[in-house]
Amino acid sequence: MMQRLVCVLAFIASVASGCQHSDTVSVTGTVMMKGQPVDKAEVIFNPKQGRFASGVTDAEGHFTLSTAKPNDGAVPGEYTVTLGEYYPPDQPPAPPRGGGFLPSRFPNKYADPSSSPLSVKVERGQKNEFQLEVK
């Protein structure tokens, strides 16, 4: 009897855990500049309200966003997208001579949510795959 009860409880727990609703939806995209894919760019989705999401581009300019855990996407909503240089934790950049900011291949407007021309809307039930072009 006890063994049957344990099996039933285990079954109910496994079904219930599979029915949990995630706050995030999958978000992917590509960053291009002058017609070429952008490698090692940090892509940040800055929400109008809610949680930030970020990802890093690969050699083909492709990124997958993460919010709370790797590759979990972003919470549906409106975002301003900013771009910056990505430096792996084990390869920090040398500080610029004389101090100041690290150089970036992106125009300054792409680093600031108040001036970035890139905006997107993440929607539940849609294919959230964005093509971002740096001009």
CATH code where residue 53 lies: 2.60.40.10
The label of the residue with tokens 């300019």 reads 61
Classified as helix, coil or strand, 111 is helix
The domain in which residue 128 lies consists of 23-134
Q: How confident is the model at residue 97 (pLDDT cuts 50, 70, 90)?
A: confident
Structure-model confidence comparison of residues 1 and 56, the more confident one = 56
| Domain assignment of residue 9, yes or no | no
Given a contact cutoff of 8 angstroms between Cβ atoms, the answer to whether 73 and 53 are in contact is yes
pLDDT at residue 5, rounded to an integer: 42
| Domain assignment of residue 31, yes or no | yes
| Domain assignment of residue 106, yes or no | yes
pLDDT at residue 4, rounded to an integer: 53
Given a contact cutoff of 8 angstroms between Cβ atoms, the answer to whether 32 and 133 are in contact is yes
pLDDT at residue 26, rounded to an integer: 98
- Whole-angstrom distance, CA of residue 24 vs CA of residue 30: 19
Residues of the chain with pLDDT > 90: what percent?
Answer: 70
Instruction: Retrieve residue 115's tokens.
Output: 């001036």
pLDDT digits (tens, 9 = 90+) for 8-24: 444 454 444 445 567 99
pLDDT at 117 over 50: yes
- Whole-angstrom distance, CA of residue 62 vs CA of residue 129: 10
| Domain assignment of residue 58, yes or no | yes
Q: How confident is the model at residue 93 (pLDDT cuts 50, 70, 90)?
A: confident
- For 94-98, the CB contacts below 8 A with 24+ separation are none
Q: How many domains does the chain have?
A: 1
| Domain assignment of residue 8, yes or no | no
Interacting residues of 83 by C-beta distance below 8 A, sequence separation 6+: 31, 38, 41, 42, 43, 44, 106, 110, 111, 116, 118, 132, 134
> In the predicted model, what is the mean pLDDT of the chain?
88
| Domain assignment of residue 5, yes or no | no
| Domain assignment of residue 107, yes or no | yes
| Domain assignment of residue 2, yes or no | no
